[in-house]
Structure 1
Amino acid sequence: MAKSSADDAELRKACEAAIEGGGSKETVVLSIRVAKSRGVWGKAGRLGRHMAKPRVLAVTTRYSSKTQRTKAFLHVLKYSSGGVLEPAKLYKLKHLTKVEVFPNDPSGCTFMLGFDNLRSQSVAPSQWTMRNIDDRNRLLLCFLHICKEVLGHIPKFVGIDIVEMALWAKENKPSVTAQVKAEDGPAAALTAQIDSEVTVEQDLVSQAEEEDMEALLGTFVMDIGEAEAFSERLKRELLALEAANVHALLESEPLIEEVLQGLDVATVCVEDMEEWLSIFNLKLRHMREDIESIESRNNKLEMQSVNNEALIQELDKLLERLRIPNEFAAFLTGGSFDEARMIKNVEACEWLTGAIRALEVPHLDPCYANMRAVKEKRTELEKLKSTFVKLATEFLRAYFASLVDFMISDKSYFSQRGQLKRPDHADLRYKCRTYARLLQHLKSLDNTCLGPLRQAYCRSLNLLLRREAREFAHELRASTKTSRSPSAWLEPSSGSSQPSNSADTSNVSEAYSKMLTIFIPLLVDESSFFAHFMCFEVPALVPQSMTVGGDGNGADEYDSNDNDLGIMDIDGDDTKSGGKSAELGALNEALHELLDGIQEDFYAVVDWAYKIDPLRCISMHGITERYLSGQKADAAGFVRRLLDDLETRISDQFTKFVDEACRQIERNERNVRQMGVLSYIPRFATLATRMEQYIQGQSRDLVDQAYTKFVSIMFVTLEKIAQADPKSADIVLLENYAAFQNSLYDLANVVPTLAKFYHQASEAYEQACTRHITAIIYLQFERMFQFARKIEELLYTIPAEEVSYQIGLSKMDMRKTIKASLSNVDKSLANMYRKLQKNLTSEELLSSLWDKCKKEFLDRYESFSQLIGKIYPDETTPSVAEMRKILATM
């Protein structure tokens, strides 16, 4: 058998060096080479993950003199790049709960150790593979002895029989037992016994005891009947041994007396030594007290010196905080806010803000807060703050008013006759930016001063914006040349049946689009600039790219850099917290004051466009919708409300036009007698075509609602006109419904709302045609079909063969009815055609109606012929084929 690595002295020394290098004083019980792997036997894996790695397992013990207990550890050591052992992992054997030999390993040399204190149980435990079964059994027996003798528990063994290990230990017992000194402790003694003894269970007999028992039993060979003789022999030997012991004690009495005398002498020496030690102890105690007193006085003096130095430093710092630089005091009370001095003013504000903040409790030690000097200096700084805030507020209010007054007095800023002027506030914003940083400091010094400043800025700029909008809207209307479109679209007229629609009013929509293109981005930018300039703590406004124009006209884009004030927050944060939306209400109120009144000029443009062409409300509504979709519900809330109001006003104007057109339709009902196609039917088709041209891909809700209202009134009015003359009611209905379908056929294919009304008109047309044709047929052949109706009514109560025996239904009556109705059938059919032709005013409907009439008559005659054949089987009537042939010649 090859030599085990557990017997390698060099390996044990290397392990002891590696463990002692980590600062631990432990005794190596066993050191053995193993191979470490992680994974599952029989499954393929990556080489880097499942490849075995060489390791050394070292079992160590350490005796604690404080707790009088021995601790056992399992060290895992790995080889460094230089081939030197170094610690890798450390386990406490008191946590070892399970030793499991891996069943899939056919050699039985692979096992796993289970510890109850591992944090991550989801990671597969390491697998240890020994070189042979002997090394495995040697390591496992080491674990078993240490856990049993030192730790007081035995781990659970899975996959191996302990008895087999005990038998292996008996066969491989070493011949030499190591000598262990007593002072090494119980752990070292246990180490020496590990290789010599194997105990499987608590009550098993050791090998030495077993040999003694065999030797004792071998000396006595006797039968069972000699038990009494054996007992007597044992008693005699026991008495002999006791007598020998008493004799030995008596012989040793001189030695005992000599030892007792030596003990007495030693006791006297110990007593003398104890007295001297008590004297020395008293002197040392007094000396210790003197030393402690001296050290205490020295410590107090040193502490006092250190405290005095710290106090002087703190007082110097406090005096530095309380000092007001003369140059800052001059700028804070000077009241000059020229552009050249703004940098110094801002620096003075920054110093004042920092000085006030430095005297507050979070930044100042609370013990200084109630000092008289601090209170006086705080009062002085508050006076400086109030003086500076008052002077700056008065200057800015006057400055805003002067800027706006200067721009209003110069007419070149506004639109003039023959020239539309786009408002330009670049110079105004540039001048305002000079004082943006000042406003930031005013807010940090006194937040209440911003209210009057915001109000003054809003009132001043409101005058400028309203003047610009008024002049621009006035010149926009004056420079737009277009013809007025008729507003009475559905009004009946004696002249041409089609209204004049040659006027091109697209300039109206273009003018409205230009108004929005110029002023909506301007108002958004002004709102954003105002929110930043006046220090509202709201989310940053992102200016929209206003590229939605009406009728294909693109809009100019405003430079988003106009909203950048080039400043940072006083606290050094360039971003605004999204949670500060509480100021949105105050901001929107200020924006309402800033922009209020400008909506009147937009309303004037809408009203002007409505008077020129009411249908242009459709395109203006679409332009407004596109601008609304481009606006976010942010701090520029007034702009969104303005667009909402414009959309509502345009809708109201268009509703006004629709209501007036509906009243024009209802006026047709008051005419005494109307025949043919009503005038509003073709006029509505022209109106719908024009309306579809103005939609241009926008939302259809406005137009679809108008269609629904128009057609509903048209159909109701048509029914009322038809009811005025019951004789010609069906003719009026079928002619007008047919004209409605013919005029809206193309639009109904592309407009779902008109398609719905198209199908409704088609159903009403078919019903009117059926009623009218039925009336004409009955007018010529009433006697024949009345005879058939009587027969059908009797068939409900009596059999068919008994009908011919009823009064008025005999064969003779049948022959008379046939002769009277069909003797001159061609003449009757011609009369029916002339009757149909006489009542119609639309010639193009005659052909289709006559075809419907012939088909209806043939269907009814076929039913009559079948009924006669069933009741009067012996009688003959003209066949359906003959009747179809007669109708074909008509």
Structure 2
Amino acid sequence: MAKSSADDEELRRACEAAIEGTKQKIVMSIRVAKSRGIWGKSGKLGRQMAKPRVLALSTKSKGQRTTAFLRVLKYSNGGVLEPAKLYKLKHLSKVEVMGNDPSGCTFMLGFDNLRSQSVAPSQWTMRNIDDRNRLLLCILNICKDVSGRLPKVVGVDVVEMALWAKENIQNTPSVGTQRNLQDGPVAATVTESDLKVTVEKELVSQAEEEDMEALLGTYVMGIGEAEAFSERLKRELQALEAANVHAILESEPLIDDVLHGLEAATNCVDDMDEWLGIFNVKLRHMREDIASIETRNNQLEMQSVNNKGLIEELDKLLERLRVPSEYAASLTGGSFDEARMLQNIEACEWLTDALRGLEAPKLDRNYAKMRAVKEKRAELEKLRSTFVRRASEFLRNYFASLVDFMISDKSYFSQRGQLKRPDHADLRYKCRTYARLLQHLKSLDKNCLGALRKAYCGSLNLLLRREAREFANELRASTKASRNPTVWLEASTGSGHNSNAADTSTVSDAYSKMLTIFIPLLVDESSFFAHFMCFEVPALVPPGGLVNGNKTAYDNDDVNDDDLGIMDIDDNDSKTGKSSAELAALNESLQDLLEGIQEDFYAVVDWAYKIDPLRCISMHGITERYLSGQKADAAGFVRLLLGDLESRISTQFSRFVDEACHQIERNERNVKQMGVLSYISRFATLATRMEQYIQGQSRDLVDQAYTKFVSIMFVTLEKIAQTDPKNADMFLLENYAAFQNSLYDLANVVPTLAKFYHQASEAYEQACTRHIAVIIYSQFDRLFQFARRIEDLMYTITPEEIPFQLGLSKMDLRKMVKSSLSAVDKNISIMYKKLQKNLTSEELLPSLWDKCKKEFLDKYESFAQLVAKIYPTETIPSVVEMKELLASM
């Protein structure tokens, strides 16, 4: 017998390598061929469909439990075994040897846990019967040991299996199970006797064994050899067959009766089949007739439904195309009086809805091609153009008539002795009547609004300019204020001229009143115009008419004067987003609405400047406050107006500053001036008045003026001082001192003036130092010249060598001391007189004299130290003596 692959150690090692890491032990491995239902009716094996596989039985122990597996391994492209499938033997329910394989080498293993029982399980083909029996016997033994039960065996004789096992037991591989002993897992080998017992007890059940013993017990008598026993069985079989044939022959009459009955039944069945065929043909024809009738009925019903729907749709279309006579009359020839406006608005709404109703998606696109729809659309377009033309012409005339009526009535404007605040409540009330008409005109024809806006702006501009002109004229006429001259810093004017300047606060109050009345009015008019003329922009004035957080001066009884009471007509009107195109168009219209009104504001500014130029500061602050409150984009013209006013005020104030600077520069030509210049003392008065006008605003404007004033003042002061070098320092220190004294209080609160105060202080100290040095050297020149020569030589030679230099001997020292210090009190008195001689400000003398004594004492102390170091044996008056002498004078 050829060697079985179950004994191939190389195959076993390859299988172990394929399942390495699974902690399973290979019990048996054998090569097989895999097929799936490959046996045909001819009973020949289709080898071309077989696939080589290896079946391996393995076990795995975990504690007291042992699990057995059936592994299917296949060959990879490189010829290496790799796992393909894994089955647990505890689920093995059936072992069936295929009967259609003549060789008996093909079997099937059935498992009860497979998901798809509809797919035929794989069939395994062995090389020979021995390999088949060996594998099946090993599977059955493992199932018995591990699971304690046997699967169902079909297609194989258990007696044949037992006989094969007895003959080939020595070639059967040992099957081991893991038993957890004290010394560890030990493989128990199945011996020959064990296997025999197993085969007898497992392949034949107890009931089958009893039946076989009873059968054999019947024939135990007189049986000596198997051949005799076989002969006996053949004879009995022949006897039984003869008895069966005899019984069949005896029952022939009965069989004939049965055959006659079957023939009669067959005839009846044939007749019934013929009748059924006839009925089937008739029923088929009937079904075809019924289907034809149903089809015609369905078509008629569908046609009826469609006709009904078409009639309804045509009725709706006709209703949509019908123009009510009352609306047609209003649109083509109705009046625009206030009493008729409700009917006009209703006609507009109907016309708008009718036009939209003929457009997609409200009207099906297929209807648009109908002639009736085209004719009706042309009719509606004609109605729209006629109504828009009539309404536009009426509104243009209406706006002009309203303004002409107000202009012709002088009671609307300011008159002599009476300032009249503009009141447009009645005008707006009358315009508000036609607000919804404008909304509908916009929806009907947006292009028509351009001419209406221009007409409204042109009419209202006349009214606003007339109101502003009359108000400004009466405002100036009713304001009483004495005119202050623009000559503030000129030298020819007396020093106390402006100390009691006239109160001109009424001038700035008048300008503030002009802004208070007209700026809110212009903002309100801009807001009303934007909403009335259907610009899609947000409100310009907060609810309640607030400007800069306060109630506007132009408050009518109707707080929500800009609320036109207009409901949203279409979806576009509800949008609050800003449109740059809309804002540009609005600001262009506002330019037409308010153009020219700025001239009356300019007139007030120029008038106030002529009365008191310094009032430009307060007017600038007032303008800044109003300008900071105009944030709405649609009030662009009002912001431009305020910006122009601010610029004009700044220009006028700059003009005043330039004239004052020119007055300062003219002092340069008067070169014989001495003492404190007039503009130095006057500047403090001017700065004080400017600070009073600031009132927390216009700080930058005033600071720029300060910078320009002081810069020109200091430059002019230095130029005048250069014309008289002998008295230049005295002149400078007096003027810088006067500048500091006059600005002391203001410099503590105004940072810009504090900067110039410190600049003047430094210039004063420098002028004092230079002037005192000149006075000291004029009396003690020899003394300090001698000291300077010594100091110069100390850089090049040693102190011991200096007394031997020409002119620096001890004898020279004694002569110099005698000539300079013999009458030191007299020389000091002369210094005091020189300091006092040209000084015009007596209050500066004490501080200057103290500086002079301190400077002289410091210089003399340095001289005394040099003498003590170079001429230690010589004596001069001590520093203490000199200090006492100076203190006594």
**TM-score of the superposed pair, with normalisation by structure 1:** 0.71
1:227 corresponds in structure 2 to: 192
1:220-619 → structure 2 map (5 Å cutoff): 227=192, 288-493=287-492, 495-499=494-498, 501-543=500-542, 555=553, 557=555, 559-571=558-570, 575-619=574-618
2:780 corresponds in structure 1 to: 781
Read off the aligned partner of 1:227 and give its amino acid letter: E
1:806 aligns with 2:771: no
- Separation (CA, whole Å) in 2 of partners of 1:476 and 1:539: 34
- Asked whether the 8 Å contact 1:469–1:598 carries over to 2, the reply is yes
Equivalent position SS for 1:369 = helix
Cα pair distance change 1:275/1:806, threshold 3 Å: farther
1:823-862 → structure 2 map (5 Å cutoff): 823-862=822-861
Cα pair distance change 1:349/1:790, threshold 3 Å: same
* 1:291 Cα offset (Å): 3.8
- Asked whether the 8 Å contact 1:335–1:388 carries over to 2, the reply is no
- Separation (CA, whole Å) in 1 of partners of 2:585 and 2:884: 90
- Separation (CA, whole Å) in 2 of partners of 1:478 and 1:686: 30
- Separation (CA, whole Å) in 2 of partners of 1:545 and 1:678: 57
- Please list the CA deviations of residues 73-121 of structure 1 after superposition, one character each: whole Å capped at 9, or x if unmatched: xxxxxxxxxxxxxxxxxxxxxxxxxxxxxxxxxxxxxxxxxxxxxxxxx
- Asked whether the 8 Å contact 1:486–1:500 carries over to 2, the reply is no
- Separation (CA, whole Å) in 1 of partners of 2:311 and 2:551: 76
- Separation (CA, whole Å) in 2 of partners of 1:568 and 1:432: 16
Equivalent position SS for 2:366 = helix
- Please list the CA deviations of residues 831-885 of structure 1 after superposition, one character each: whole Å capped at 9, or x if unmatched: 1111111121110000000000000111111111111111111112211100000
- Asked whether the 8 Å contact 1:548–1:555 carries over to 2, the reply is no
* 1:274 Cα offset (Å): 10
1:143-292 → structure 2 map (5 Å cutoff): 209-210=147-148, 227=192, 288-292=287-291
- Separation (CA, whole Å) in 2 of partners of 1:233 and 1:768: 138
2:759 corresponds in structure 1 to: 760
Equivalent position SS for 1:564 = coil
- Separation (CA, whole Å) in 1 of partners of 2:596 and 2:724: 57
Cα pair distance change 1:312/1:212, threshold 3 Å: closer
- Please list the CA deviations of residues 504-549 of structure 1 after superposition, one character each: whole Å capped at 9, or x if unmatched: 1111011111111111111111111111111111123234877889
1:790 aligns with 2:789: yes
- Separation (CA, whole Å) in 2 of partners of 1:799 and 1:237: 139
- Separation (CA, whole Å) in 2 of partners of 1:366 and 1:782: 117
Of 558-567 and 808-817, more deviation after overlay is shown by 558-567
- Please list the CA deviations of residues 137-192 of structure 1 after superposition, one character each: whole Å capped at 9, or x if unmatched: xxxxxxxxxxxxxxxxxxxxxxxxxxxxx9xxxxxxxxxxxxxxxxxx999x9xxx
Of 424-433 and 626-635, more deviation after overlay is shown by 626-635
* 1:490 Cα offset (Å): 0.6
Cα pair distance change 1:830/1:519, threshold 3 Å: same
Cα pair distance change 1:554/1:736, threshold 3 Å: farther
- Asked whether the 8 Å contact 2:531–2:562 carries over to 1, the reply is yes
2:669 corresponds in structure 1 to: 670
- Please list the CA deviations of residues 655-688 of structure 1 after superposition, one character each: whole Å capped at 9, or x if unmatched: 0000000000000001131110000011111100
Amino-acid identity (%): 74
Equivalent position SS for 2:560 = helix
Over the aligned positions, Cα root-mean-square deviation in angstroms equals 4.0
Cα pair distance change 1:816/1:650, threshold 3 Å: same
- Asked whether the 8 Å contact 1:676–1:841 carries over to 2, the reply is yes
- Please list the CA deviations of residues 772-802 of structure 1 after superposition, one character each: whole Å capped at 9, or x if unmatched: 1111111111111111111111111111111
1:820 corresponds in structure 2 to: 819
Read off the aligned partner of 2:827 and give its amino acid letter: S
Cα pair distance change 1:224/1:748, threshold 3 Å: closer
- Please list the CA deviations of residues 52-79 of structure 1 after superposition, one character each: whole Å capped at 9, or x if unmatched: xxxxxxxxxxxxxxxxxxxxxxxxxxxx
Q: Which runs of 5+ in 2 are unaligned?
A: 1-89, 91-112, 118-140, 152-157, 171-187, 217-229, 249-254
* 1:817 Cα offset (Å): 1.5
- Asked whether the 8 Å contact 2:775–2:835 carries over to 1, the reply is yes
1:681 corresponds in structure 2 to: 680
* 1:624 Cα offset (Å): 0.5
Read off the aligned partner of 1:835 and give its amino acid letter: K
Cα pair distance change 1:207/1:398, threshold 3 Å: farther
- Asked whether the 8 Å contact 2:710–2:756 carries over to 1, the reply is yes
Cα pair distance change 1:728/1:204, threshold 3 Å: farther
- Asked whether the 8 Å contact 2:320–2:354 carries over to 1, the reply is yes
Equivalent position SS for 1:423 = coil
- Separation (CA, whole Å) in 2 of partners of 1:727 and 1:562: 77
Equivalent position SS for 1:512 = helix
Read off the aligned partner of 1:210 and give its amino acid letter: G
- Separation (CA, whole Å) in 1 of partners of 2:416 and 2:572: 49
Equivalent position SS for 2:523 = helix
Read off the aligned partner of 1:604 and give its amino acid letter: A
- Asked whether the 8 Å contact 1:418–1:475 carries over to 2, the reply is yes
Equivalent position SS for 1:210 = coil
Cα pair distance change 1:282/1:766, threshold 3 Å: farther
1:634 corresponds in structure 2 to: 633
Cα pair distance change 1:857/1:206, threshold 3 Å: farther
- Separation (CA, whole Å) in 2 of partners of 1:230 and 1:346: 114
Equivalent position SS for 1:719 = helix
- Asked whether the 8 Å contact 1:335–1:392 carries over to 2, the reply is no
* 1:498 Cα offset (Å): 3.8
- Please list the CA deviations of residues 609-664 of structure 1 after superposition, one character each: whole Å capped at 9, or x if unmatched: 00000000011011111111111132111111100000000000000000000000
* 1:573 Cα offset (Å): 7.7
1:771 aligns with 2:770: yes
* 1:816 Cα offset (Å): 1.4
* 1:432 Cα offset (Å): 0.7
- Separation (CA, whole Å) in 1 of partners of 2:298 and 2:283: 22
* 1:360 Cα offset (Å): 1.0
Cα pair distance change 1:714/1:285, threshold 3 Å: farther
Cα pair distance change 1:709/1:734, threshold 3 Å: same
- Separation (CA, whole Å) in 1 of partners of 2:824 and 2:866: 19
- Separation (CA, whole Å) in 2 of partners of 1:869 and 1:207: 132
* 1:281 Cα offset (Å): 7.3
1:30 corresponds in structure 2 to: none
1:77 corresponds in structure 2 to: none
Equivalent position SS for 1:420 = coil
- Separation (CA, whole Å) in 1 of partners of 2:388 and 2:450: 13
**TM-score of the superposed pair, with normalisation by structure 2:** 0.71
Of 626-635 and 288-297, more deviation after overlay is shown by 288-297
Cα pair distance change 1:228/1:639, threshold 3 Å: closer
1:62 corresponds in structure 2 to: none
* 1:815 Cα offset (Å): 1.5
- Asked whether the 8 Å contact 1:498–1:682 carries over to 2, the reply is no
Read off the aligned partner of 2:465 and give its amino acid letter: R
Read off the aligned partner of 1:849 and give its amino acid letter: L
- Please list the CA deviations of residues 385-443 of structure 1 after superposition, one character each: whole Å capped at 9, or x if unmatched: 11111111111111111111111111111111111111111111111111111111111
Cα pair distance change 1:546/1:783, threshold 3 Å: farther
- Separation (CA, whole Å) in 1 of partners of 2:686 and 2:551: 25
* 1:699 Cα offset (Å): 3.4
- Separation (CA, whole Å) in 1 of partners of 2:748 and 2:640: 38
* 1:708 Cα offset (Å): 0.6
